[in-house]
Amino acid sequence: MANYNITFLNESTSATQVFEGVNNMTGGLYASLMLLGFFIIVFIAMKKYDTDVALLSTSFVVSTIAMLFLVMGWISIEIFAIPITILIISVFYKVASG
């Protein structure tokens, strides 16, 4: 069993500080997995539309959230590139398919 230093919980005064502490402790994995979870949940919620529309709107929403996470320093630029790439591919597919 791993021992984690969670003293940041005693010093945290907001949910944002707790999130940042957990994300720092996991090396940025927490925010990355949260983006994946957002993507899955929003895609399932948008599935009542066509798949290309659902993918386009989902990638836009997740790209916006990823941009916020990037500005806050919670994810790296490499992780930020994934939803942006999906968004660009979705836009090209939607334009090409009419």
Quick one: which of 63, 78, 66 has its CA closest to 31?
66
Report whether 20 contacts 54 (CB < 8 A): no
Tell me the domain boundaries of the chain.
27-97
- Mean pLDDT value across residues 91-98: 87
d(CA 11, CA 41): 32
Q: What is the pLDDT of residues 12-64, one digit of tens each?
A: 778 787 788 888 888 888 899 999 999 999 999 998 998 888 999 999 999 99
pTM to 2 decimal places:
0.81
| Phi, psi for residue 31 in degrees, rounded to 5 | -70, -35
Residue 9 binned pLDDT confidence (cut-offs 50, 70, 90): low
Angular region, 18: left φ>0, alpha ψ -120 to 50, beta rest: alpha
Q: What is the pLDDT of residues 66-84, one digit of tens each?
A: 999 999 888 899 999 999 9
